[in-house]
Chain A
Amino acid sequence: MTEQAIELRDVRGPSALGGGWRRSLDLLYLIAVTEFKQTYFGTVLGYLWSLARPLLLFGVLLAVFTQIFRIGSQVPNYAVLLLFNIVLYGFFQEATMQAVNSIASQESIVRKTQFPRLVIPLAVVLTAAFNLGLNLVVVFVFILAWGIEPMWSWLLFPVVLVLLFALTIAVSMIVSSLYPRFRDISIIWTVLATVLFYGTPVLYPIEVVPETLKDILMINPLTPLFELARVWVIDPSAPGPAEAAGGYALLLPAVAIYGVVCVMSVWIFKREAPRIAEEL
């Protein structure tokens, strides 16, 4: 070793981020790819399952809501809307549910190596996003086949996606970092995700919801996102989020919750990250 002065650097302990962007991105990619392989390894239809799942759900729900409950028949393009919503919500649900024990399931790595902890939940969201991408291809083929003309507003759809990604990442960060300490997060989130599925206009359009209930639905930050997507992609005549809420001001609670969740996620994850290895 040369006698030149070697620079001493502080050992800061484990953290949410840090260690260079290149490394974080490489890690993110590798973990996402291996997660993906692991999920579908050993299954006969492999990746096709991730397409089959939402399609099956779609088929069942479509039958129920057009043949039995008949809500669907009052709504223009109900089938397309339903499939589109299922795929979008499916992404949110898949990512956040997988995220819950994502850090805990990588225990052997977390307990022995130093790396930015954030890449684990991000990798889960990335894998889910990849699925979403492929599912959306199918959805758009379906939309065109249904006879909906391409619209300029389709170009705005990525805005919805970005907002949805951010919320999904935020929730994933919260559940994954709290799970090692509070194992019941897994049960709580399973229940909450189901509540949110019904509490978001996935199965039904917002305009058929009675006023009192609608006020509650509008607090859900997912609701305006789904309404935006609907107006921009499927049905320009549908009420947008503001109209559905009864004015922009009434959107504020949802926006505020969205913001709080995002800020909280950063705060919680940063606080928990250094201790995760000890809690596992």
Chain B
Amino acid sequence: MAVVIEARRVEKTFRIPHHRVDSLKERATHPLRRAEYRELRALRDVSFDVHGGEFFGVVGRNGSGKSSLLKIMASIYAADSGRIRMAGRVAPFIELGVGFNPELTARENVVLNGVMMGLSRREAARRLDAVLEFAELEDFVDLKLKNYSSGMMVRLAFAVMVQADADVMLIDEVLAVGDAAFARKCMDVFQEKRSAGRTIVLVTHDMATVQGMCDRAMLIHDGELRYIGDAEEAAMRYYRINFGAADDGDLGEAGPAAVPDVHARVVASWLEDESGTRVESIEQNRPIGLNVVIEAREELVKPIFSVYVLNQDGSAIFGLDVTPTGPGGAPMDRIPAGGRVRIAGTIENPLLPGKYLLQCFVFREGTLRGALQVMHLPGFVVFGTRPGIGIVSVRGNVEAVAEPECGP
């Protein structure tokens, strides 16, 4: 396939004032003092190609520079140096929107956006119905956007972007919001657009999407391109970086060859409640019954399985290490290819109500820096009526007592 996005040595540095000099008075009273800046190198020497018809993932931690890169590709930021070339019409979807004016109605915004995307006013107006139908917002066409709920706004924005029918779609974190039905719809659109030969660049934290849908992906860390290629591999490296498991140095040198001589797969995985019933949601404060059956595809040497519970952002909340034991209770040094291990038991549940993800990492003992593999297990929901602060609730014995001298 032909190259549709060609980035060469792209650099971007933001200058962040130590204390913001945005008043002319400071400039005038200290004309000689250079404003003190902290330089934030958002992108360093990033080069890559994206081919026509590809579903291309961009992953990296918050602040890694991936969103800046997308903005440069969308001509919203200017690169300091380097060159990006693209083919065809480009439709960006940035910061959960396509650029709406909240004071205007949906109708006016859709037309305005169409014109910004390069349509004539008539074409843009003609597109309105299709956009509203897709967003399922026909009844709200003359409502000002400031009165929309955030979910409606995102739906409208996504519909506008999709209906622009651009050759290249640049999408930043669309999956982080909205309900399950909306996420499903996004996925369907991506599939459909890809089979129509469109190119999609998706910035996301959702590794399940990257592994399940992306043809290729790249990992950006501290503004540098760390990996480009296989989506599965990019996701795995993302996890390693995210859990601080790998030294940065390691990772650069560890080419695909150095990574795992071991592979495992999840045969079955489910959660149970206290009564032993299989569930997908668990009540607050009730223990989580975990059941995972893993099969070694190749021989696993001194394996350690780590089960992680993550929140929706992909941040680990806690994890448990499990060393497999043989029939006699002795640690297993190796699991032969084809051998199966069952990880089962209950986990205390301090989680506040919300959606959570489960992952199982395979480590090799003694090399705890860097997982060999990460496997996704089904996520789950914790429900309950006692919301709290943060992510987990803990028991404590803290009280507020009036000091004697404070008495009445």
Q: In the complex, are the beta carbons of B84 and A10 less than 8 A apart?
A: yes
Contact with A along B25-36 (1 / 0, CB 8 A): 101000000000
Interface check A38, CB cutoff 8 A = yes
- When A20-B118, A22-B120, A111-B95 are in contact, do A6 and B22 touch as well, CB less than 8 Å? no
Residues of B within 8 Å of A, CB-based: how many?
50
Q: In the complex, are the beta carbons of B52 and A1 less than 8 A apart?
A: yes
Residue of A nearest to B25 (CB): A184
Q: Bound complex: CA of A26 vs CA of B3, how far in Å?
A: 32
Q: In the complex, are the beta carbons of A38 and B103 less than 8 A apart?
A: yes
Out of A10, A34, A114, name the residue touching B76 (CB < 8 Å).
A114
Interface check B290, CB cutoff 8 A = no
CB distance from B34 to the nearest CB of A (A): 16
Q: Bound complex: CA of A30 vs CA of B125, how far in Å?
A: 12
Q: In the complex, are the beta carbons of A182 and B72 less than 8 A apart?
A: no
Q: In the complex, are the beta carbons of A111 and B115 less than 8 A apart?
A: no
Q: In the complex, which residues of chain B have a beta carbon less than 8 angstroms from the beta carbon of A14? A: 75-78
Residue of B nearest to A23 (CB): B118
Q: Bound complex: CA of A12 vs CA of B72, how far in Å?
A: 9
Q: In the complex, are the beta carbons of B118 and A19 less than 8 A apart?
A: yes
Interface check B354, CB cutoff 8 A = no
Q: In the complex, are the beta carbons of A113 and B85 less than 8 A apart?
A: no
Q: Bound complex: CA of A106 vs CA of B112, how far in Å?
A: 12
Contact with B along A113-135 (1 / 0, CB 8 A): 11100000000000000000000
Interface check A190, CB cutoff 8 A = no
Residue of A nearest to B97 (CB): A112
Interface check B108, CB cutoff 8 A = yes
CB distance from B287 to the nearest CB of A (A): 45
Interface check B213, CB cutoff 8 A = no
- When A14-B78, A23-B118 are in contact, do A108 and B97 touch as well, CB less than 8 Å? yes
Q: Bound complex: CA of A27 vs CA of B88, how far in Å?
A: 21
Of the listed stretches A46-54, A203-211, A270-278, chain B binds A270-278
Q: In the complex, which residues of chain A have a beta carbon less than 8 angstroms from the beta carbon of B112? A: 27, 30-31, 34, 109
Q: In the complex, are the beta carbons of A113 and B86 less than 8 A apart?
A: no
Contact with A along B102-122 (1 / 0, CB 8 A): 111000100111011110110
Q: In the complex, which residues of chain B have a beta carbon less than 8 angstroms from the beta carbon of A185? A: 24
Interface check B6, CB cutoff 8 A = yes
Q: In the complex, are the beta carbons of A11 and B115 less than 8 A apart?
A: no
CB distance from B13 to the nearest CB of A (A): 11
Interface check A70, CB cutoff 8 A = no
Interface check A3, CB cutoff 8 A = yes
Q: Which of A9, A22, A30, A113 has the most CB of B within 10 A?
A: A113
Q: In the complex, are the beta carbons of B75 and A114 less than 8 A apart?
A: yes
CB distance from A187 to the nearest CB of B (A): 10
Q: Bound complex: CA of A19 vs CA of B119, how far in Å?
A: 11
- Assign chain A's interface to a size class: 35 or more
Q: In the complex, are the beta carbons of A112 and B98 less than 8 A apart?
A: yes
Q: In the complex, are the beta carbons of B85 and A9 less than 8 A apart?
A: yes
CB distance from A42 to the nearest CB of B (A): 11
Interface check B197, CB cutoff 8 A = yes
Q: Bound complex: CA of A19 vs CA of B115, how far in Å?
A: 11
Residue of A nearest to B1 (CB): A1
Q: In the complex, which residues of chain B have a beta carbon less than 8 angstroms from the beta carbon of A3? A: 2
Contact with B along A172-195 (1 / 0, CB 8 A): 000000000111110010000000
Interface check B94, CB cutoff 8 A = yes
Interface hits, A246-280 → B, CB 8 Å: 274-275, 277-278
Interface check A147, CB cutoff 8 A = no
Q: In the complex, are the beta carbons of A108 and B101 less than 8 A apart?
A: yes
Q: Which of A27, A111, A181 has the most CB of B within 10 A?
A: A111
Residue of B nearest to A30 (CB): B112
Q: In the complex, are the beta carbons of B108 and A113 less than 8 A apart?
A: no
Contact with B along A29-51 (1 / 0, CB 8 A): 11100100010000000000000
Residue of B nearest to A278 (CB): B77
- When A6-B87, A22-B120, A109-B100 are in contact, do A13 and B77 touch as well, CB less than 8 Å? yes
- When A7-B87, A8-B6, A183-B22 are in contact, do A112 and B118 touch as well, CB less than 8 Å? no
Interface check B66, CB cutoff 8 A = no
Q: Bound complex: CA of A5 vs CA of B1, how far in Å?
A: 10
Q: Bound complex: CA of A34 vs CA of B101, how far in Å?
A: 10
Q: In the complex, are the beta carbons of A109 and B99 less than 8 A apart?
A: yes
Q: In the complex, are the beta carbons of A275 and B2 less than 8 A apart?
A: no
Q: In the complex, are the beta carbons of B72 and A11 less than 8 A apart?
A: yes
Residue of B nearest to A183 (CB): B22
- When A30-B112, A109-B99, A184-B25 are in contact, do A114 and B83 touch as well, CB less than 8 Å? no
Interface check B353, CB cutoff 8 A = no
Q: In the complex, which residues of chain B have a beta carbon less than 8 angstroms from the beta carbon of A274? A: 77-78
Q: In the complex, are the beta carbons of A10 and B99 less than 8 A apart?
A: no
Q: In the complex, which residues of chain B have a beta carbon less than 8 angstroms from the beta carbon of A12? A: 75, 78
Out of B24, B53, B76, B98, name the residue touching A188 (CB < 8 Å).
B24
Q: In the complex, which residues of chain B have a beta carbon less than 8 angstroms from the beta carbon of A181? A: 22
CB distance from A55 to the nearest CB of B (A): 28
Contacts beyond the supplied A182-B27, A183-B22: 16 A-B pairs with Cβ under 8 Å: A1-B197, A3-B2, A6-B4, A8-B3, A8-B6, A9-B85, A11-B85, A13-B75, A14-B75, A31-B112, A34-B101, A34-B103, A111-B76, A112-B76, A112-B98, A277-B71
Residues of B whose CB lies within 8 Å of any CB of A are: 1-4, 6, 14, 22-25, 27, 52-53, 71-79, 83-88, 92, 94-95, 97-104, 108, 111-113, 115-118, 120-121, 197
Jot down 7 A-B pairs with beta carbons below 8 A, ordered by A.
A6-B52, A13-B79, A22-B120, A30-B112, A109-B100, A109-B112, A182-B24
Question: Which 7 pairs across A and B sit closest by C-beta, in order of nearness?
Answer: A13-B78, A1-B197, A112-B99, A114-B75, A113-B99, A8-B85, A274-B78
